Amino acid sequence: MDQETIASEADITRITLDGREILLVGTAHVSQASVDIVIQTIQEEDPDTVCVELDEQRHKALRNPRHWESLNLTQVLRKGQAPFLLANLVLSAFQKRMGLQTGVKPGAELAAAAETAEDLEKQVCLVDREIRTTLLRAWRTASLWKKFNLLASLLASMFDSREIDEEELARLRQSDTLTAMLDEMAEFLPSVKRILVDERDTYMADLIRKAPGDKVMAVVGAAHIPGITRQINQEISPETIADISTIPPKSSFSKIVPWMIPAVVVLLFVVGFLSGNTDKMADAAIAWILANGLLSALGALIALGHPLTILSAFVAAPLTSLNPTIGAGFVTGLVQASLVQPQVRDLEKVGEDISSTSGWWRNRLTRVLLVFLLSSLGSAIGTLVAFGWLKNLL
């Protein structure tokens, strides 16, 4: 790439702050042009420090593409981290599909920035907020309805295999691909966009401002440049950074809701028992078992779970629905992981397989997560259906 091309495609913002020079280099996360720009700019500008839009986890993942091989899936399920892992994979899958159509791995320019800086013995600073904090803040600050919308949008992107035209690719080169994914949700999920973009602008602006050296270069998604530029001249208070770095606790309402339906169900059975109508009690018990068990088993079946996994969904769902501390997906995920254990090949190719819809079912690791997700969803729907039946039977 010649100098004229780089000059026309680069999004470089120069800021003078307290006698120091700060260069903000805006990139697209799936653009070869961005990779070339980043490498050449570091070599030519010779900064003291290079900041990159990564947290520790993402940095390790980019440096070690085989990091999946060390994943202990059973521990992930036992610790209740399956939803986080699934969401992370969905976002990765979206960027992966972008990369397949541009020929560049997602985050290649960030990896190139860190590697080039290290080769030139420059200091590297990771300035992005931890991805887990970002995702949990988005989830816990959203209302119940917005959570459904967010989940639906994530699931839609998970199975979206449409081709991206040249106009879309051109737009992506001017924005962060994660932001592009969320643009469609911005109208009805402004809080999610605020957390995933605006808060991270604030977080990164603070760390870039504090980076050591007289000349600091920061490599970030182009969509973050306006927000960082607007805030980098401001003194951001420690209280603000502490606030946006904290995972909000679950609300009292969200803690109570999972227990409300089981409590009402138990109450209905108690009323039915006191009324002495044993026939209705038997019908109600059958309705509860069938609605929960069949729909959870259906979810496991759609996920192509092992026959014993499907059976475990039918058996477990009616019981776990009465105990919010253990979900049906927890049981079915563990059963599936035990019966159809992910092989080395699955761990090696998970990054490739998530880029296609069929790959989610083909890969044993992601199939466990699908079993977890769809059996849980089936159980939740079954609980609502059974609750409606119980009101009419008792």
* Domain positions in the chain: 6-244, 252-393
Strands across the sheet containing 11-17: 11-17, 20-27, 215-221, 49-52, 123-126
Write the pLDDT tens digit of every residue in 9-67: 457 889 998 889 999 998 876 667 778 889 999 999 999 999 999 988 888 877 776 55
The counts of H helices and E strands in the chain are: 21, 5
Q: Phi and psi at residue 126, in whole multiples of 5°?
A: -90, 115
pLDDT digits (tens, 9 = 90+) for 117-163: 999 999 999 999 998 888 788 777 777 676 676 666 666 665 555 55
Q: What is the pLDDT of residues 107-117, one digit of tens each?
A: 788 889 999 99
pLDDT tens sequence across 236-248: 999 999 999 998 8
Name the pTM for this structure. Answer: 0.69
Q: Which amino acid is at 19?
A: G
Q: Is the pLDDT of residue 195 over 70?
A: yes
What pLDDT is recorded for position 9? Answer: 42
Query: How are beta strands 123-126 and 20-27 bridged, if at all?
Result: unpaired
User: What pLDDT score was predicted for residue 33?
Assistant: 75
Q: How confident is the model at residue 1 (pLDDT cuts 50, 70, 90)?
A: very low
With a CB cutoff of 8 Å and minimum separation 6, the contacts of 69 are 344, 347, 348
Asked if 19 contacts 214 with a C-beta cutoff of 8 angstroms, the reply is: yes
Whole-Å CA distances, 118 to 41, 49, 50, 112: 14, 10, 9, 10
pLDDT at 129: 93
Assign residue 163 a region: left if phi > 0, alpha if psi is -120 to 50, beta otherwise?
beta
**230: number of CA atoms within 13 Å, CB side?**
10
Q: How far apart are CA 362 and CA 345, in angstroms?
A: 11
Contact status, residue 44 vs residue 118, Cβ threshold 8 Å: no
